[in-house]
Amino acid sequence: MTTPQKLAVLLIAMAIAFCAAWQVQAWRYAGKLASQAALQADDLNNLTQAALRQQQTEQDKRQATEQQLAVSDQQHTRELSDAKRNQALLRDRLATADVRLSVILDAKDPASGSNVSATPSTVGVVHGARRAQLDPAHAQRIIGITDAGDQGLIALKACQAYVSTIIQKLRQ
């Protein structure tokens, strides 16, 4: 074999070795990329699972809070309904004269020196004090005012319970 032929064979051998090394490196690099992609996919999957668990936990907390608020709302609605019913019964009793509202008179006041008897009636609760009965129309107005006050207090209680429940859940 002549020198140019040896040189050609050597160049071909080097080219084959270079291509083989290049191919081996490509395979190794592809393997590394595949393993990195698998690790990245696993990490992404773990993050997704953690996010889903967190979301489920928050959703469970929200549902529990909503259920608590619904129960509280039902309780306050029931209290308001009971108060309205009691006020209506009292108004009806006042209108039919079953019950009469009266006020205690000041015994020291010269203007109260009226002829109102000091003996209590069957409906009275204060014994021995001078009392004057209120006009039924005025009694109805007083009951209306106390009814509005009772409704306002029940609504305030409901609002306070709602706010305290929300604040309690936010602190958790």
One-letter amino acid at 9 equals V
Q: What is the pLDDT of residues 102-124, one digit of tens each?
A: 777 776 666 555 554 545 555 55
Q: Alpha-carbon distance 20 to 63, whole Å?
A: 64
pLDDT at 122: 53
Q: Alpha-carbon distance 150 to 83, whole Å?
A: 7
The angle formed by the CA atoms of residues 165, 153 and 66, to the nearest 5 degrees, is: 25
Mean pLDDT of the chain: 83
One-letter amino acid at 42 equals D
Q: Alpha-carbon distance 47 to 36, whole Å?
A: 16
